[in-house]
Amino acid sequence: MIAPLKIAVAGLGTVGGGLLKLLAANAEPIAARCGRPIVVTAVSARDRRKDRGLPLEGVDWYDAADTMAAHADCDVVVELIGGSQGIARRVVDAALARGKHVVTANKALLAHAGTELAQAAEARDVVLAYEAAVAGGIPIIKTLREGLAGNRAQRVYGILNGTCNYILTNMRRTGRPFSEVLAEAQKLGYAETDPSFDIDGIDAAHKLAILAAVAFGTEVNFAGVHVEGIRAVGALDIQFAGELGYRIKLLGLARMTEHGLEQRVHPCMVPLETPIAHVEDVFNAVVVEGDFVGRVVSEGRGAGEGPTASAVVADLMDIARGRRAQTFAVPAARLQRAAAAPMDRHRGAYYIRLMVRDRPGVIADVTAALRDEQVSLESMLQRGRRPDEMVPVVLTSHDAEEAAMRRALARIEALDTVLEPPRLIRIESL
């Protein structure tokens, strides 16, 4: 057996601890499959006195992770600290500058600096691997770069954040409001104390920017992602979605259009007959549509100690075997700088919920605003009770341009019979 692959691990939190446990528990099959063992030679974390219950005998400890990346006796630096700047960026920069391979689970860093880091890795002829950065235990980066390499991607979309999927799933199951289910998710550890990164769609947008770069051979463009979260999704919307034959999911969607690369993260109405409608709780799913392969659906746990550590080890095993892949599927110098498709030019169907005062002429005023913007209605649900009481009115449209729909909603919101801002959710044909 040839010399072991020596790795240094920056960060011993949930994922870092899981990585060390996995490498220890499955050392024999990993070595057999790689033709060489993978051994941890150095680690770095904030508190070396903390008992983590991890196998750290004979491992060098560094208080400064960037110092470890620069000077540790290792072939690969594994960055599991997180964050788009600060110490995580310094660790990756130090490792690449010294010709060491890098494996990371850091989607924020890649979303903001992926193109630059890919260029640096290529210049030093080392690997920058990040399977764990997108969709946890689902091997979607390998699927795009290798299994579907012969295809032109037509569209990539998916449920990319388990916290949001858990909240939406349990709002539907229980009928409880967003705030109550979020509090439950925090209690169970599925949501952070400050959950904004997840529920405002930023986490999913980071992952989508990476997926789009791999799928379409473009520079990573996080700034080009249209982002909306799930705070405004109400229990009433989830109820109406079911009546209309849909479920509400926070999706990330990317495709190349005549206006440029469209990247968007927002709540969607998805038809019940589609596979992604039935991906529940904290699970993630990614769908790739290729010109020759058709539709490929991958589902699994998107976060957590085990799934994320599994993805890190898969990258380490590729490096141990000597397998190389371009960071974003093509050489960094050939990544396209695609224009970002304006959201105003998006065309699709829409769900609109209004809370109106139940008076004669309300619907006529609403439909007139839509008619004037060339928005055609497909269906309407009206819940009338007593005159002058606030009631919901739900409309669905045929395909319309986003800008036209926004203009129509601005006119509708200004009506004195409309008592709350209109709720808009895009309907996706998947």
By annotation, the residues acting in catalysis are: 207
Cβ(163)–Cβ(195) below 8 Å: yes
Tokens of 169: 């799933």
Q: Which residues contact 113 (CB under 8 A, 6 or more apart)?
A: 84, 89, 220
Q: How many CA atoms lie within 13 A of 421 on its CB side?
A: 8
Q: At what angle do helices 235-244 and 162-174 cross, to 10 degrees?
A: 80
Cβ(328)–Cβ(114) below 8 Å: yes
Tokens of 28: 């024999």
Residue 342 to residue 304: CA distance in whole angstroms: 35
Residue 273 one-letter amino acid: E
Cβ(315)–Cβ(103) below 8 Å: yes
Residue 312 one-letter amino acid: V
